[in-house]
Structure 1
Amino acid sequence: MTMTAENRWEVQRSFDELGRPLREVTFCVVDLETTGGSAAGGSMITEIGAVKVRGGEVLGEFQTLVNPRSAIPPFIAVLTGISDAMVAGAPSIETVLPAFLEFASGCVLVAHNAPFDVGFLQHFAREQGRAWPRFEIVDTALLARRVITRDDAPNCKLASLARAFGSATTPDHRALTDARATVDVLHGLIGRLGTLGVSTLEELQTFSSRVSAAQRRKRHLAEGLPHAPGVYLFKDPRGRVLYVGTSRDVRTRVRSYFTASETRSRMGEMIKLADSVEAIACATTLEAAVRELRLIGEHKPPYNRRSRFPEKVHFVKVTPEPWPRLALVTRVLDDGADYLGPFSSRAAAEKCVAALHESFPVRQCTDRFGRRPRRTPCVLAEMGRCLAPCDGRVDAETYGAVVERLREAAFRDPDAVVHVLEARMEGLAQGERFEEAGVHRDRLTAFLRAAARHQRLRALTACPEVVAAQRDDDGTWSVHVVRHGRLAAAGVIPRGADAHRYVAELRASAETVRPALGPVPAAAPEETEKVLRWLEAPGVRLVDIDGEWTCPVRGAHRHLPRHDAVEESRRSLVPFGERRPLRPIGPTVG
């Protein structure tokens, strides 16, 4: 499936791929003093202090007052000791910010409660139209909350942590002093984590106390994996696949299972069984997502909860009989029938069938009979809910016209079903029979979603080939070849390459895909839906198309926004018996 101008793995592994040892990382520890708590709300910076350190050694310091161009609130002046007179002759933030960014260039930025300090700096960078460097961030407050216990310190405030780690500097709400104290806290936290096996920047950034020591000891399994999009497979000692996942950066994601951010109990159990991790490089994130689905469907890993059984789908079939009916089936046959689907669950398919039966009085019995049946009618016929071809009360032409209207509603224009069920819902609601109205609402929603999904999948499945491209953040172009709804090739056009030639070669090397029966894509429905979402994403350009990629103008998608909004509203409602705090909608007084 993948085609690239160069093999992304056939390069010498850098130290980044092995993890950057903390002793070799240069940190810039920064602290700010401000006139208030919100830069967006008009607060200004009054002082910046920073300390550059590596391997425990101080490499340099940066300190300057900043003229806020407004009066410093009295309580801030008392807290920090910075007065209006002190900053009157100080440089402005327009002068100070470039100097600080030059000082911090190439460093990992550290702050205690980093969102506050970094947020202020980013705000003024935006105001000045200045590009913000892609700093990696370490928040000592966040890290301390993962490491420090009540026995170590009463809280994770800077002053408390400075005392706990025996800092030589006492924080006093002056920027350089607090930055120096934060350096000591950082070194104390690194020392504490070193005893737990944390030795690299990646492990420091993702550390969690909920990850066991045994889990951390397996972090070597991530070594050698690429910093690239791809799929990873955890395997047990016998080579059986335990879990399949995907990521934009395989190595970073796999390391997180051993060092921190992955704290699900099932994943901890899986890591105990894992003996190796295999990775498959992919040209694009879409290819990685598709490969993940295919591998899950192939191996059925015990620790993947979704997508393990793509073959378990259901369809609603309009049978090719003299007197057609609706039937639930699990396979599409080459029998000339019309199929609506696929459905991921039988329950959803049954709701769809119920919606169609509410709207069209076709027979619901499973009996087989010829063109001139002579049988006793069922209860549904007596209730007027079936045209009853069984006893000859309806002719084939009239019955066929009803079936044709059903096909029209299911496959092209659902308005007939919408009008019938909404009228039923309104009548039941007026009679305060809300639960029954809810049943019809759920049936209608299931039908509309199924019809919309069917129409979208069928439109793409009918196309022998679709070639599309999207410009990536790094300026390159990702290209995908889709055949009958299946991803057949993926690649990234190298910089400076002839785009037309590259696309032609990609198409020539793409997988040969034959169409499946009926509306079924030549891939698992979930795969085709992922491909569709990418094709419909902003910025994707169609390069070439073989066939017609069209959906009905009056298709079911027209009705989905309203039903999705209703569903979202239902989820947000608080049940009568459930107590949940209400958020204030205005200022609180008293």
Structure 2
Amino acid sequence: MDAVQGTLDELGTPLSDVTFVVFDLETTGGSPAEHMITEIGAVKVRGGEVLGEFSTLVDPGGPIPPFISVLTGITDAMVVAAPRIESVLPSFLEFIHGTTLVAHNAGFDTRFVKAACAAHGYPPPANPVVDTVDLSRRVLTRDETPNSKLATLARFFRSATEPCHRALQDARATVDVLHGLIERAGSFEVHTLEELKSFVRAPTPEQQRKRHLAESVPHSPGVYLFEDAHGEVLYIGKSTNLRNRVRSYFTAGETRPRIREMVGIAERVRHIVCSTGLEAEVRELRLIGGAKPRYNRRSRFPEKVVWLKLTQEPFPRLSIVREVKDDGAAYLGPFSNSRTADEARIALHEAVPLRQCTQPVTLRTRRSACVLLEMGSCGAPCEGRESQTDYAIHVESARRAMTLDATPVFSAVSARMERLSVEQRYEEASVDRDRLAAFVRAAARMQRLTSITRIPQLIAASPAFDGGWDIHVVRYGRLTAAGVMPRGAHPTPYVESLVATAETVIPGPGPVHAASAEETECILRWLESPGVRLVEVDGEWSLPAHGAARHKARIDLAYRSLTSRSREHRPLR
């Protein structure tokens, strides 16, 4: 048989001949439908050589949110004389014509470009797209890089440019990351653009070899456990359709290096069928907390949460503790770590002049005051300058901010952030932003948890797929029974049966005494989902009229851009 020579088209385009445009956008938020581009930066490269750069600020046509200014350093004053996107877009489209686009978390940037094209009558770019997040997940192991953030990869590949949330700077850093990733991909016999695109999504040989592990898994809601040859649980997950979910681990769609590594070790998949999707979600959390599988990243250590406590003393102070006691003190939390709790504590100190010393202070204590007195941040009860009655006013303000109304803290820290931004001290303002977010989010979370964990018993139902009803019994924020009522059946016998067999829960101190905060939040999300009906509530289910939720909504909106551009792989459960 004569050998047949392949054509150049069959061989593909060598990566050294591909012209890449590595680009990055800065925006006023995370949604192209609601937010606008504020800066475009792009670098054109081929064969490791920079051919050109494109960089411009863009007038978004409206104010830039303060939180975004803190993140990027781009202010309203900087863009007031900048061109609008309709003026910039033609030049940018010409710059990228005939090239392969590259971006870090490319879906974010390309969505904004497509939205701008649609708004101004241009066809969306048909350029091939390479995402350095996806490529890094394919060629780097978790031992080399803990995540796929741009800053992490730039350090790993020793980029000469440090990412800083400015478009051109981040694009330059992404160029160095791209070159490092392409060099790594070469060891996988990836030498053409076509091979690069297929390589990112191709399942590994181990994934293909172990597809049979999903064969015995049913099409039911429940929990699945990947185990190794010795029976050690490697990973736990949940799904409303176990078979479909487990199958997905053996396809090209599963690109997470950590999970691909886990699949290579796994020898069996065990499953636990549950009555409802909520039961599966709760059981997953409990199993992860008990087994602590090494390939689950979240929910493994529910016992390690910490709290911010307003102590019970003649002159109370804020203390970070690991246990909630039935001592009448006010608590805020739970926090996942002490650092976040301390950020919330500093935010509260900005609004309320509580003492910050750790030594006991009694009515007879007399010692020299610290520098906080001169700064106006403490009334110095240690020197006897502030009476217990006057200090109690601050204590009550702190207690109210922690449990009922976070407005004083929000206002005080926001005012400080605004002052720092005016002075262009953005780094300090960003620190205050994170502190405020830590406090408000914790206060909103605790108020939501408390709203349900104080209820002795709550019964609710939601429509099932087959026309029946999923029924759940919740006691003090813990799921104690779950079942399915068939279509057309009378509810009373089913509800009474579930209540009779439900787990007994003993009330205790704090908002999460009966279950982990994550479990109670799962139940809250289900209760607030469309179609859920309350069958019985022993007590009242309500939130404070001036609670922290309204401030949390504003903070979450400001952080949405940062979340969308998080530069890291999706957290694993």
TM-score norm. by structure 2 comes to 0.61
Residues 1:208 and 1:291: Cα distance change in structure 2 (over 3 Å): farther
Can you give the 5+ residue segments of structure 1 that lack an aligned partner in the other structure?
1-206, 576-590
The partner residue of 1:547 within 539, 542, 558 is 539
Alpha-carbon offset, residue 259 of structure 1: 4.7
Residues 1:431 and 1:261: Cα distance change in structure 2 (over 3 Å): closer
Does structure 2 conserve the Cα–Cα contact (< 8 Å) formed by 1:332 and 1:517? Answer: yes
The partner residue of 1:248 within 240, 255, 264 is 240
Alpha-carbon offset, residue 468 of structure 1: 0.7
The partner residue of 2:433 within 436, 441, 463 is 441
Residues 1:229 and 1:371: Cα distance change in structure 2 (over 3 Å): same
Determine the structure 2 residue equivalent to 1:377: 369
Q: Does residue 403 of structure 1 match 2:395?
A: yes
Determine the structure 1 residue equivalent to 2:408: 416
Determine the structure 2 residue equivalent to 1:332: 324
Determine the structure 1 residue equivalent to 2:446: 454
Q: What CA deviation, in whole Å up to 9, does each residue of 1:5-51 have, x standing for no partner? A: xxxxxxxxxxxxxxxxxxxxxxxxxxxxxxxxxxxxxxxxxxxxxxx
The partner residue of 1:524 within 493, 503, 516 is 516
Determine the structure 1 residue equivalent to 2:284: 292
- The amino acid of 2:457's aligned partner reads E
Aligned counterparts, 1:49-448, within 5 A:
210-448=202-440
Alpha-carbon offset, residue 435 of structure 1: 2.8
Q: Does residue 562 of structure 1 match 2:562?
A: no
Q: What CA deviation, in whole Å up to 9, does each residue of 1:153-174 have, x standing for no partner? A: xxxxxxxxxxxxxxxxxxxxxx
Determine the structure 2 residue equivalent to 1:474: 466
- The amino acid of 1:530's aligned partner reads C
Alpha-carbon offset, residue 574 of structure 1: 12
Residues 1:327 and 1:279: Cα distance change in structure 2 (over 3 Å): same
Alpha-carbon offset, residue 328 of structure 1: 0.7
SS in 2 for 1:311: helix
Paired with 1:209 and 1:382, the residues of 2 have a C-alpha distance of 61
Q: What CA deviation, in whole Å up to 9, does each residue of 1:278-318 have, x standing for no partner? A: 11001111111111111111001011111111111111000
Q: What CA deviation, in whole Å up to 9, does each residue of 1:494-544 have, x standing for no partner? A: 123221110111111111112232222411111111111111112111110
Q: What CA deviation, in whole Å up to 9, does each residue of 1:250-300 have, x standing for no partner? A: 122223323543333322322232222111001111111111111111001
Can you give the 5+ residue segments of structure 2 that lack an aligned partner in the other structure?
1-198, 568-573
- The amino acid of 2:452's aligned partner reads L
Does structure 2 conserve the Cα–Cα contact (< 8 Å) formed by 1:338 and 1:518? Answer: no
Q: What CA deviation, in whole Å up to 9, does each residue of 1:164-207 have, x standing for no partner? A: xxxxxxxxxxxxxxxxxxxxxxxxxxxxxxxxxxxxxxxxxxx9
Paired with 1:416 and 1:214, the residues of 2 have a C-alpha distance of 56
Determine the structure 1 residue equivalent to 2:151: none
Does structure 1 conserve the Cα–Cα contact (< 8 Å) formed by 2:468 and 2:488? Answer: no
Residues 1:445 and 1:272: Cα distance change in structure 2 (over 3 Å): closer
Does structure 1 conserve the Cα–Cα contact (< 8 Å) formed by 2:457 and 2:475? Answer: yes
Alpha-carbon offset, residue 211 of structure 1: 2.7
Paired with 2:417 and 2:259, the residues of 1 have a C-alpha distance of 45
> Which protein has the larger Cα radius of gyration, Structure 1 or Structure 2?
1
Q: Compare 477-486 and 424-433 and name the one that shifted more.
A: 424-433
Paired with 2:228 and 2:236, the residues of 1 have a C-alpha distance of 12
Q: What CA deviation, in whole Å up to 9, does each residue of 1:126-168 have, x standing for no partner? A: xxxxxxxxxxxxxxxxxxxxxxxxxxxxxxxxxxxxxxxxxxx
Q: Percent identity?
A: 56
Q: Which has the higher contact order (CA 8 A, sep 6+)?
A: 2
Does structure 1 conserve the Cα–Cα contact (< 8 Å) formed by 2:456 and 2:539? Answer: yes
Paired with 1:213 and 1:573, the residues of 2 have a C-alpha distance of 31
- The amino acid of 1:379's aligned partner reads V
- The amino acid of 2:296's aligned partner reads N
- The amino acid of 1:558's aligned partner reads R
Paired with 2:554 and 2:251, the residues of 1 have a C-alpha distance of 44
Residues 1:443 and 1:224: Cα distance change in structure 2 (over 3 Å): same
Alpha-carbon offset, residue 228 of structure 1: 0.4
Does structure 2 conserve the Cα–Cα contact (< 8 Å) formed by 1:222 and 1:251? Answer: yes
Paired with 1:379 and 1:324, the residues of 2 have a C-alpha distance of 19
Residues 1:255 and 1:549: Cα distance change in structure 2 (over 3 Å): same
SS in 1 for 2:249: helix
- The amino acid of 2:307's aligned partner reads F
Residues 1:429 and 1:475: Cα distance change in structure 2 (over 3 Å): same
| Count of matched residue positions in the alignment of Structure 1 and Structure 2 | 369
